[in-house]
Chains A and B, each alone.
Chain A
Amino acid sequence: MEIIITEEQKCDVIKIIGRIDSYTTPNIKDSIQNLINDGHTNLVMELSSVNYLSSSGILMFVNFHKQLLKNKNGKLVFSNVPELIYSNIKLAGFDKLFQFADDIAAAIDCF
């Protein structure tokens, strides 16, 4: 698993490569939490190169989104979510809670 963070004008794009499962989730969680703690609260999660997302990964995103909404200072937007991964997010009922953009440009426009 690899994480590439790119700072844009109004948000940060976090590209994750590989699996998001119980093994990799703690590292991803630390990276995102560090960003938030440094005041970066508009986050685009770019998942085009993610080949698996477990329930632990989904719940991590839900908790970050909650944290950002609660502090009313940001949000988390998904971009390029592969179809199979989206279908599990939908199965868990979280499809209505997040914004999904087809590409990075559209995701950046959400801020």
Chain B
Amino acid sequence: MAKKTFPGNFRSLELISEFIVAHAQQAGFEPKDVYAIQTAVDEACSNIIDHAYGGEDLGNIAIKVKETDSALQIILRDKGKEFDPDDVPKPDIESPLEIRKERGLGIFFMRKLMDQVIFEFSKEKGNKLTLIKNKR
């Protein structure tokens, strides 16, 4: 298991990606799945900064990566305000370009690219987001 804490700003995203990619590769995932995991974590961290903290440098993002025989589990924690994924409208991926509303694409990616996405919140510990990718 590996643990690392990053400042909650957009400059951290590249370092977070490097950290995640290294662990996903080490766990034996193929490039397509490594990119999927990288995307899901990047979108999750952008959401934490934008929505949970409501801006940059207002708190940290703690990341825990755990590999099991069957999966890679990534746990993201922040101390921002409760993030309710149901508050984010589902993306519209079928309407014509001119009338499409572009929102919620980050969560859509997380759910499509990972096998499990679990949002939890407690007043003491803040938001906990668990992302799980199964090994094939």
Contacts and interface: CB of A to CB of B under 8 A. Distances in A.
Contact of B13 (A23, A58, A63, A88): A23
Q: How large is the interface on B (under 10, 10 to 19, 20 to 34, 35 or more residues)?
A: 20 to 34
Which applies to chain B's interface (DSSP): helix, strand, loop or mixed? helix
Nearest to B94: A93
Given A21-B13, A23-B10, A84-B32, A52 B42 contact: yes
A29 to B, nearest CB: 13
Interface of A is mostly: helix
26 contacts: A19-B13, A19-B14, A21-B17, A21-B42, A22-B10, A22-B13, A22-B50, A52-B35, A52-B42, A54-B43, A54-B46, A54-B106, A55-B46, A55-B106, A55-B108, A55-B109, A58-B105, A62-B97, A62-B100, A65-B97, A66-B98, A69-B97, A91-B112, A92-B91, A92-B109, A93-B94
Given A21-B46, A22-B49, A55-B105, 20 more contacts: A19-B14, A21-B13, A21-B17, A22-B10, A23-B11, A23-B14, A54-B39, A54-B43, A56-B106, A58-B105, A59-B105, A65-B97, A66-B98, A69-B98, A87-B32, A91-B113, A92-B108, A92-B109, A93-B94, A94-B93
